[in-house]
């Protein structure tokens, strides 16, 4: 039954083009740009992310990250992407469609980060739109979920702008920056109107 079949990418996941942005699988050659952007954006990102390990920005940690990404993709568990400006291939952030559940769920969870210099320019909105189209068509998901801290107003606006509906409130849902944080829960369904 096709409904229960999973997607199998024996080759790298194709790049995704959005409005002025390009999403592609992370590669070893991305290390320097990734580490520099993450370090330059540390103060901007830390309030919204899990605690960074002490070695997070090292080349060895990046290699381990890439291995985990490849394993997750092969197992149809997660699809990580780095986000680039389309016109000059500058790395500006990243997105992951993870926690993929097949069978009767056909769902995944969206996570994303943006480098501080590129925030609030509509670039992540374009990226999430493009990733949603990929998730619903290529990955054949029925539902994309996202969660955000109630104080993260830009993320709330982004999700609502592109058709994610607020579905609930989860107490101490994720450990962010070392503290269990409440989160607003959002979802978008395959047949929801495109925005």
CATH code of the domain in which 85 resides? 3.40.630.30
Is residue 90 situated within a structural domain?
yes
Residue 169 lies in a domain: no
SS (H, E, C) the chain: CHHHCCCCCCCCCCCEECCCEEEECCCHHHHHHHHHHHHHCHHHHHHHCCCCCCCCCCHHHHHHHHHHHHHHHHCCCCEEEEEEECCCCCEEEEEEEEEEECCCCCEEEEEEEECHHHCCCCHHHHHHHHHHHHHHHCCCCCEEEEEECCCCHHHHHHHHHCCCEEEEEEEEEEEECCEEEEEEEEEEECCCCCC
- Within a domain: residue 23? yes
**What pLDDT does residue 12 have?**
74
Per the structure, the count of domains in the chain is 1
**Per-residue model confidence as pLDDT tens digits over 7-34:** 555 567 889 999 999 999 999 999 999 9
Q: Which domain holds residue 45?
A: 2-141
**Residue 115 counted as domain residue:** yes
Residue 1 pLDDT more than 70? no
Q: Is residue 149 part of a domain?
A: no
Instruction: Answer whether residue 176 is part of any domain.
Output: no
Say what percent of the chain tops pLDDT 90: 91
In a domain, 27, yes or no: yes
Evaluate whether residue 77 is within a structural domain. Answer: yes
pLDDT tens column, 118-172: 999 999 999 999 999 999 999 999 999 999 999 999 999 999 999 999 999 999 9
Mean pLDDT of 72-89: 96
pTM: 0.91
């Amino acid at each position: 039954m096709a409904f229960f079949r999973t997607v199998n990418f024996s080759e790298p996941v194709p790049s995704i083009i959005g409005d002025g942005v390009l999403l592609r699988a992370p590669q070893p050659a991305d290390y320097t740009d990734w580490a520099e952007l993450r370090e330059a954006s540390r103060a901007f990102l830390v309030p919204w992310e899990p605690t960074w390990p002490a070695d997070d920005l090292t080349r060895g940690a990046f290699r381990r990250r890439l291995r985990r990404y490849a394993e997750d993709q092969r197992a149809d568990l997660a699809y990580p992407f780095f986000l680039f400006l389309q016109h000059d291939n500058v790395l500006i952030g990243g997105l992951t469609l993870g926690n993929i559940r097949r069978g009767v769920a056909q769902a995944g969870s969206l996570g994303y980060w943006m480098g501080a210099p590129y925030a609030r320019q509509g670039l992540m909105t374009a990226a999430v739109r493009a990733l949603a189209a990929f998730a619903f068509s290529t990955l054949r998901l029925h539902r994309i979920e996202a969660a955000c801290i109630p104080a993260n107003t830009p993320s709330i606006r982004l999700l609502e702008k592109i058709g994610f509906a607020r579905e609930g409130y989860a107490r101490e849902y994720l450990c962010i920056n070392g503290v269990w944080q409440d989160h607003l829960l959002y979802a978008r369904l395959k047949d929801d109107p495109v925005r």
